[in-house]
Amino acid sequence: MSTEPIESMTLRLQVNGEAVERPVAVRRHLADFLREDLGLTGTHVGCEHGVCGACTVRLDGRVVRGCLVLAVQADGASVQTIEGAADARMAALQAAFHRHNAAQCGFCTPAMLLTAADLLDRPDRPSREEIREHLSGNLCRCTGYQAIVDAVEATCRALQG
Amino acid sequence: MNSPRDLPQAQTADACIGQPLPRRGLERLLQGRGCYVDDLQPPRLAHAVMVRSPYAHARIVSIDVEPARRAPGVLAVATGRDMAGWCKPWVGTLATAPGMRSPPQHALAIDRVCWQGEPVAVVVAGTRAQAEDAAERVEVTWEPLPVVADELAALAPDARPVHPGDADNVCYRREVASGDVEQGFAAAAAVVSATLRTGRHTHVTLEPRAILADFNPADRQLTVWHASQVPHMMQWLLADQFGLPESQVRVIVPDVGGSFGLKIHVFGDEMAAVAMALQLGRPVKFVADRLESFQSDVHARGHRIEARMAVSAEGEILAFELDDVQTFGPYGCYPRAGTGEGNQVLNLAGAPYRNRHYRGRLRVAFQHKGMVGPYRAVGHPVACLATEVMLEQAARAVGVDPAQARRRNLVADDAYPWTLATGPVVEGLSQQASLDRLLQMMDYDGLRAAQARERARGVHRGIGLAHFVEMTSPSGRVYGAGGAPIASQDACMLRLTASGMVHCAVGITEFGQGAAMMVAQVAASGLGVPVERVRVLLGDTDVTPYGGGNWGSRGTGIGGEAVWLAARALRENLLAFAARVLGRPADALDLRGGEVVEREGGERHLSLEALARRAYFRPDLTPADITPELMVTRSFSQRAYGSVFSNGVHASHVEVDLDTGWVRLLRHWVVEDCGTVVNPLLVDEQIRGGVVQGLGAALYEEVLYGDEGQLLNGSLAEYLVPMAGEMPDIEVAHLHTPTRTSTLGAKGAGEAGVAGASAAVLNAVNDALAPFGAFLTEIPITPQRVLQALGKVPR
Ligand code: FES
Ligand code: FES
């Protein structure tokens, strides 16, 4: 049982291009900070132990697990969530997900999209196996993954020729 | 029977039943704009956290909540004793499971806990972190008691009863028998037998269970946002448990992050959160974390089956016998009881085949473990595994190819209606056609030839098949007749809006399977309007008609039919009114593309908007003897059969590494017949999603307990679920044998993917290992179990 007062500090960062300044408990993880303090509920929490990937966000451009990063670790950084990921590539990916019915309950989906978007930046076109491998940190309990792989593959083909 | 019957009449110009239309509403989820229970943060929201038992069985000597009450931010703390004054206990038995017993269960345990993780106190605070901190300060003095963990030990004559005062631990037992089993065994060319085990599995919805209750003392209104498949059932139950008038309880189901049969029960922790909202008169939220999910979500599939099958020299089944012990928790889950799993195993064992000589015995054993309840395809995968593993083993014993053995045993496609040896009557299946289609789709002969070549090179691949019979769209004979408040009816309320749109409210629910899109397509087709015109509303007991929600693959078969009936009725009303407005006979008119047109030739007369304006705004221009009803409600329940059955067959192709015991999934095929397919895009991925759950069950998933009833794997790092990397491509094909129980002809498809997947994989692994005399009888098929079967490591 810990009796020390809970420490907090003032956090300054960019979230989806907006400057944010907030006090935050040092023990709060980034996903909770985004969801509960900023109301950005597109980032989901499925396990809080780093396995399901539902909490995936971009931190300074790299995908990370929001439940494994403390909010204070993002001080000075730039964070992008699904709500702020609105470039043409993401739009193409989202459209492909829609076309292929690559989401059911949608709980895994924002994270799946952010993870998949990484593949669109590759110079070469990934194989189905590589796509499956790349998405292997994101649990989806509803789909059979196949529509997701199809959607990512189709987007890569469209964007990377 | 694989030729489609004539589809409903409106299969004309703009009909969209059968079209692979992208699901509406998905954009919202894709953009992170969904709204799940945990996303809601109403003003004055408080958070509930549970204090749970660290023991599987213990007496609560004392609970001191004072230190927790004094902790920062705490609003209230309650124990089981407090709770008992607010929420009455429930009893999870069904009259349709005669002889079943289960003691009353309280939201929070009072004197004694019966599984590790059972909640004993609830702490409510301003933030979840505060509630969690305070929960650690609740001091419970425990007196650990002896634990009954193993299911066979639980059934032993000298076993200590899980519930004091009971004579034994048999919660429920049932026997079925038909034909002359002894004679079948006596006449056999070969008899095979095995002890089959299926792991305890659980749903692992990605969104854990979640509830947010708000009570307004001013108007005594309880509003509950619930991640639920069954809002009306929950409304009834909440009213009943808390002694409120049903009309004062509103259940709203926002987006739900996966259900699979988990979100249809009464859970003590959720009821405790609701009780606290009632006590505090403010919103209280409870969201299970992942460890709590593993401990307190219901589990399923833990079976140990002694199976025996007799076959002729040609591989014809002469007799089949099984003895199933179903693991259970200390209580029957409420209100569905949880014995459906074992009952389904008895009902569906051998279901695809003609054999009439069958004997089954089921015993459900109380244990000090987590509770057991329905999980997608209740009992189906277990029945399928027992049947299909025995059939392939028997075929092997008499040297008949497994596909050939099936051909010799399947019920003929023209033999329906067919009464299963276990009692249920099956309306119309296409097992033979399914097998033909599967073998052609997977190039069975080619694959067998390749298998032989690969074996010579030291590559060990296997092919496994599994037929299944799926129960969907249940009638009221199971739950209603059992005394549970579970609707087997559903309804649709359809109205034309003033601008010519269609507003459609239904009792079924959406949790990602695409129910709302199905509804829109059926309504649009039935009416003759573009699908974009239909707005669908579901998941709110204040605005949707009473119904059973979604479970047992009933959404399309029952809910969809209600929508179809409502759409046809509204269409008639619209045409009758248009006929008066236009001075034409109603049967000369038609509704297409949202326009009233001349039936012959299609000349356009009137838009729906014009018709609506006329009806709503200008009754002064309308003759006094007609007031058009532009809102209709239609209900439907399936009464012809106990269930509407669907069917299909799976095949799995695997490669086994003899040195590591690792099983690699190469391909998986499914042929499935759910009658009329409303949207193939949705059904296909629904099937695949089910297959992947079945593959997870086959290879990875198992809730493990220690001898003292301790949960050994309460995280996703230890309870393995399939990820994209290990999953194969899954090819799906459909046959269409529409059910005659409805106009639409649709049967459910929710269970089909899970039903046969595990059995196909186990058969494929056994096929790969057959040359070594190895025979696996247990899922999940872990590398260790493979090596044990090969005799490479000790058992
Ligand atoms: S919530 Fe972060 S990985 Fe599961
Ligand atoms: S769509 Fe439900 S978890 Fe992926």
How many residue contacts between A and B have a Cβ separation below 8 Å? 186
Contact B124, B48 (CB under 8 A): yes
Chosen for mutation from A2, A35, A105 (greatest number of chain B CBs closer than 10 Å) is A105
Please indicate whether residue B543, judged by its CB atom, sits closer than 6 Å to ligand 2. no
d(C-alpha B474, C-alpha B65), whole Å: 46
- Contact between B50 and B119 under an 8 Å Cβ cutoff? The reply is yes
Q: B568 near B526, Cβ under 8 Å?
A: yes
Q: Do residues B179 and B317 touch, judged by C-beta distance below 8 A?
A: no
CB-ligand 2 contact for A115 (6 Å cutoff): no
Distance from CA of A52 to the nearest CA of B (A): 7
Q: Comparing C-alpha atoms, which of B302, B247, B363, B321 is closest to residue B704? A: B302
| B674 Cα–ligand 2 center, Å | 23
B721 interfacial to chain A (CB closer than 8 Å): yes
Of residues B666, B650, B653, the one with CA closest to residue B727: B666
Contacts of A136 in chain B (CB under 8 A): 723-726
Q: Is residue A101 within 6 Å of ligand 2 at its C-beta? A: no
Question: Do the Cβ atoms of A144 and B689 come within 8 Å?
Answer: yes
CA pair distance B249, B231, nearest whole angstrom: 11
Buried b (16+ CB within 10 A) or exposed e, B384-419: bbbbbbbbbbbbbbbebebbebbbbbbbebeebebe
What is the residue whose two structure tokens read 């994989």?
A: B761
What lies within 8 Å, CB to CB, of B600 at 6+ separation is B588
Among A2, A41, A101, the residue with its CB nearest the CB of B23 is: A101
- Answer whether A52 contacts ligand 1 (Cβ < 6 A): yes
The protein residue whose alpha carbon is closest to atom 3 in ligand 1 is: A50
Establish whether residue A145 lines the binding site of ligand 2, counting it when its CB lies within 6 angstroms of any ligand atom. Answer: no
Coil, strand, or helix at residue B123? strand
Contact yes or no for B791/B774 (Cβ under 8 A): yes
Nearest one of B255, B383, B271, B275 to B334, comparing CA atoms: B271
The pLDDT value recorded for residue B273 is: 98
Q: Is B21 on the interface with A (CB under 8 A)?
A: no
**pLDDT (tens place) for every residue of chain A, 161 residues total:** 455 656 899 999 999 999 999 999 999 999 999 999 999 999 999 999 999 999 999 999 999 999 999 999 999 999 999 999 989 999 999 999 999 999 999 999 999 999 999 999 888 999 999 999 999 999 999 999 999 999 999 999 999 87
SS3 call for B494: strand
Residue B489 identity? Q
Q: Give B-chain residues touching A138 at CB under 8 angstroms.
A: 723-724
The pLDDT of residue A82 is 98
Give B177: exposed, middle or buried? Use CB within 10 Å, 0-12, 13-18, 19+. Answer: middle
DSSP B584: S
- Tell me if B753 sits within 8 A of A146, measured CB to CB: no
Q: What are phi and psi of A62, to 5 degrees?
A: -100, 140
The number of helices, as runs of H, and strands, as runs of E, in chain B is 21, 31
* Cβ distance of B512 and A140 shorter than 8 Å: no
In sequence order, what are the residues at sequence separation of 6 or more whose Cβ sits closer than 8 angstroms to the Cβ of residue A62? Answer: none
Which residue of chain A has the CA closest to B718?
Answer: A51
Q: What ipTM describes this predicted complex?
A: 0.96
DSSP class of B725: G
Phi (first) and psi of residue B180, to 5 degrees: -120, 90
For the CA of A45, the closest atom of ligand 1 is 1
Q: Residue B281 and residue B284: Cα distance in Å, rounded?
A: 9
Q: What is the pLDDT of residue B422?
A: 87
Cis peptide before B402 (omega within 30 of 0): no
Which pLDDT belongs to residue B632?
A: 98
φ and ψ at residue B325, rounded to 5 degrees: -110, 115
Q: What is the three-class DSSP state of B72?
A: coil
Number of the ligand 2 atom closest to the C-alpha atom of B257:
2
Q: Mark the ranges of chain B whose per-residue pLDDT is less than 50.
A: 1-13
Tell me which of A36, A43, A44, A47 to substitute to probe ligand 1's pocket, judged by most ligand atoms within 8 Å of the beta carbon: A47
Most ligand 2 atoms within 8 A of CB, residue of B206, B262, B263, B686 to mutate: B206
Residue B318's closest CA among B354, B355, B360, B359? B355
Q: How far is the CA of B718 from the centre of ligand 2 (A)?
A: 20
Q: Please report, to the nearest 10 degrees, the dihedral formed by the alpha carbons of residues B592, B596, B602, B603 taken in order.
A: -150
Token digits for B201? Answer: 């599995």
Residue B164, burial from CB neighbour count under 10 angstroms (0-12, 13-18, 19+): exposed
Set of chain B residues whose Cβ sits within 8 Å of the Cβ of A39: 41
The answer to whether residues B119 and B268 touch, using CB atoms and an 8 Å cutoff, is yes
732-791 in B: which are within 8 Å (CB) of A?
753
> What would the two tokens of residue B574 be?
């619209």
Q: Residue B366 contacts by C-beta under 8 Å, 6 or more apart in sequence? A: B148, B154, B161, B162, B163, B166, B169, B170, B171, B328, B329, B330
Ligand 2 atom closest to A106 (CA): 1
Atom in ligand 1 nearest the alpha carbon of residue A66: 2
